[in-house]
Every structure is written in C-alpha cells, then in structure tokens.
Structure 1
Amino acid sequence: MVCQLYEYHYINEEKTWTEAQQYCREKHTDLATVSNMADMKRLLSNSAGNMNEAWIGLYDQTDGVRTWYWSLPGVEFNETNWKEGEPNDYTNENCGFIGEKLKWGDISCKSINYFICYDERKTSEKFYMTEEKKTWLEAQSYCREKHTDLISGMKQLQDGEVGKLRNTKGNENYIYLGLFRDTWKWSDGSSFSFRHWNLQFEDEKSNSGQCAMTVFDDGGRWKNVDCKEEKPFFCYDDKVILIKENKTWEDALYYCRDHYHDLVTITSLDEQRWIQEKAKNASTDYVWMGLRYTCTLDFWFWVSDEVVRYKNWASGEPVDDCDMSGAMETRGEHRWSKINDLKEFNFLCSKS
C-alpha cells in the first residue's frame, strides 16, 4: 500500500452505491478510485476472506457524453492522428484502430482484430504484434497479462518499430491500439483512464447498470450493475492535499509542516500520476513540491529525506543553481522544473 498517498478501506456493510458514496465522503475521502493494476492488487488484498463483490467509485454519466482515453494509465489524450472522416461512430464505435499510414479510426469494441502490445520492461523491441485476433477487451487483458498494456499515446505510436509491425499485416485494415471512449467517471472527479472491465462488459444481459463493482473471484474485474443493489464497498483516504494559496517555497514548507505533515514527495511513476491529478486543479502554472537543491553539497533532495530516485524533469532541467526548488507543471506533461524559491505558487502537502 502506498501509505503516504492514499489508503483503501473495505467497508463490510451492504449499501446502495449512493449510500456508499455518502458514507465514504463523511468518514473518509470518497468511494475508491482505482488508477492502475497495483491499486487493484491492493483492493484484492484488503478483501481477503470477505464477500465476493464490492462497490468502487466509478459510475456512468447520465448525459451520455463520451470521452476518449488511452488504456495505459497516465498517458494523456491530448494529440490525435485521425484518418480523414474519422472518428465516424458508424455503429456505436468506442475503440480505436491503427490503419494505413498509421492513421486512426474508430471501430466496434466487439470486432475481432489483431493488436499491438507495449512492454515498458524492455529496453528494445518494446512492441509486440500478436498472431491471434481478439476483441478490444480481450486484447487489453492479454497485453496486461503478458506485457504492460495495449500501445498507447502519440510518443509510442511514432516509434519506427510500430510502423514495421503494422506493415507485417499487409492489407489488414484494422489493428487495435489502446484507444477507447466511454461515459464513465470517478466519484471524486479525477480523470484516471484505468478500466478493468470483465470480458462480458459489452453483454447487456450481464452488465446493464450505471455503477461499477469489483468481483474478487474474477481477478477483481469490474461489472456494472443497478446502483440500487446493496453491496459492501471500498472507501479511500487521500493523503495528499492541494493548497490553493500562493506562497514561496519556504512558506509552503512551513505551512505543510504546521497544518499537515510535509511538502509532498514523489518516489515512483505511480505516485507521480496520482499527484499530477491533484495538480490539475491548481490556479497557478506550477505547484511546489518538497524538492530542494543544496549548494553546499551540490545535489537535489526531498525534504522528507527520501533519495531522488524517480525523476520527471523537463527537457534541459535541472541546471543546478542556488536558491532553487522543484515545482511541477499543472498542465501538459506535468514535468518538473527548478524555479527560484521566492516565486509564489499553489503547493501540495502530504498528510502523513
């Protein structure tokens, strides 16, 4: 469990989804938000020996507005490469394919196609084209089990290796990539794209409601059912808070230590993704973090005494200089920059 950022709590009381949401908001932060597979494993470990199903904080909007996302957690959908006339939504098409000249189109998620997986553990040959066709959900499940995820984002798709893989299928028009759209939102308002639906998600006989639950004996996969059903549920406690006051780095540090615990520390990509979601709501272009440069010792350090292992510096950063501290972009790719610590920004505090 990533204790310093968020903690899950299994509540073994049967309530409707709305009642569960109200309970979580009163006693914790909200119904559980799930941002990656590591979160799913934490949920399952918290549910050991309990009932088989539990609400999470995902619900279907009633306005029907669909939003495009990438399957790989943390990849923002902010650039496109649609083929002319796409997406056309010809038959309620909610999944994306890559076609000729690597242009995109939309297609039914039920259709059977080849697909490209991405594997972040590899230093070379990060992409894999399967020899077997699957539905989009089956393809996503396969890629997550065997590799990391379906190929996602412009950066991956611009890799020359992808074009070579695409060409191995000759005249094959449709090859799935990790692009999908849906109407589902998280109770806490966060925009995490992670979904872990069961393979029958498109079957309205078994998945017909507007609220999501996780099913423990199906690997934690999610099912959507009537929100009025009564089930146990997961809440979460957020250990990070955005302070929408403009302060210098030092004033922000003292504020966090006086009112909470400390300026926030980021030690992994998953933590970066969780914290940047909070940063999106800031009123300044940057937010202060607990990252500081020492002139006397000539290195960057976290004020929580963590070693700076994970790094997310913007291109060309950092140029080491005195009186500088680390701040995160609140828009774009949420990269880190070194900024004079007399500048005034919003900031992020950790609660523990």
Structure 2
Amino acid sequence: RPLNCSCLMLLLVMSTIAVDVEKEYILVKEKLNWLKAQNYCRTHHKDLVSIHNEEEVKMLVEKYRNISEDSLWIGLEKNASKDQWMWSSGEPVNFINWGENQPNNAGQREDYVVMEEPGKWHDYACTSHKFYVCFNVTILNLNTENKTWFEARDTCRENYTDLVSITSQQELWNITNITEGKKVWIGLYQNPWQWSNGDESSFQYWDTNEPNNTADDVCVGISLKHRDNKGDGHPSEVGKWNDFGCNNHYYFLCYEVYLNEKFRQNNWKKKL
C-alpha cells in the first residue's frame, strides 16, 4: 500500500511543470517611511522591490519616468549589524548600482535605499517619506493532463490562481518557449472576450481567420507548433490564438501569484 501511494504522488507531481517566473512591479503613490512601505508591500504583495541587473534598472526607469517624484524607496537595507546590505525579500545582493559618492551614510543613520531618477541608488534615513515600488512573483505552471477548458479552469483555481492571462507581446513570447508544440488552453473565453479572472482582454493575438465564431467555439487555446494547415486551408503560426470548442481536451497553463508569506513558505519547503 505505501508503495502504491508513493507512485500516485509522483505521477501527480510530474503532471505539472513550473515553466516560467514573471516579476510584476507595483508603484505605490503614497509617501511613507521605509519601514511602513515595507509593511505595506509585505501585506499586499511580496515585498519592496529587489533589483538584480541593469535591465531591471532600465525597465523601472522607463516605467516610472513620468512620475513627479525624483526618488523611490526600494528594498535594500543594512543588516542588523549594519555592516552589509541586504534585500528585504531575502534575495541575494548580486548587483549594485550606487550613485556617485554613495553610500555615504550621512549622519550615521542612512540605512535604507532609494532609486533616483537616472536609476542610481542613494542611501537615506528611514524617516524620509517617499513613494515606493513593491513586487509580486508569478509562476506559470504547464499542466500536462488533457482537460476541457472548464475542467482546466477549475483545476487552476483549486491548485493555483487561475488559467493564465496574457497581457503583452513579451508575456506571449515567454509562453511560446515552454511547451513541446502542444495546444494549450489559456484563460480567454466568450465573446466579447474576457479573461477567466474577470479582466478585460486589451491584448489579443489571433491566428489567420480567427476567431471564427463557430457556435461552440467560445474558449481560446494557443498552438505552440507551426502547422501548414490548421484545418481551414491556412497555416497556423506559433503562439497565435484560436477559438476552440470548450469541450476539447488540451494541456493548459495556470498561473500562481506568490505573495510574501506563501513565497517564503514555498522556498522553505523546497530547502527541506
């Protein structure tokens, strides 16, 4: 009996593959000191933002270049002994981007960090009040069981957050690289089209002659393999969307947003 149970657990784990990690940035336009900003981010998201490469710096500068503030709190702080910088999220400090003559620890009390307009970092006292950037981590999970769209949606909601929503070309490019050419359900359905989590569909990427609005075709999948003929005499491009009958059985993509405590618990379990 124990052996059979172990085999069942292994099969369940292997049916789902974590295939991609996405990072979402959230600007909070409320001036708080660093500790209150950290508390807000940990309550509503994962944590204050951590930055690990020049590409992230450029993206944040571009994303928030039109705000009125000239600096934003980020998650970098001194450790308890005040001899080392650390990220609030616990991630390793593998990249630094200090401004000229920084950090200078003016007044021996600048233990926290802001990112200024050109993307450079400056140490500040915790008592300063500033806007701040939080972040979430989203994991994409490819489920390799064949299910109808509604079965897939229910499975995602029971075990993760929901069927995946795609809101940009970059997200689509990430997804097209993660399966073995299978058709996969995504969260788009009905007409007018909306995502299963209730969001409107502002980004769409339909294949040739799609959607074809067949009566039963109210759910959307992605073909992740080029086909010369998708059944209507036209080729199917990788990553393009098709409306299918919701009772067809395909693999599916779930997403899960890891908030702070859940993310920490998940990482702790992985280390055991």
TM-score tier by shorter-chain length is: 0.3 to 0.5
- Output the TM-score relative to the length of structure 1: 0.37
Between structures 1 and 2, the one with greater helix share? 2
- Output the TM-score relative to the length of structure 2: 0.47
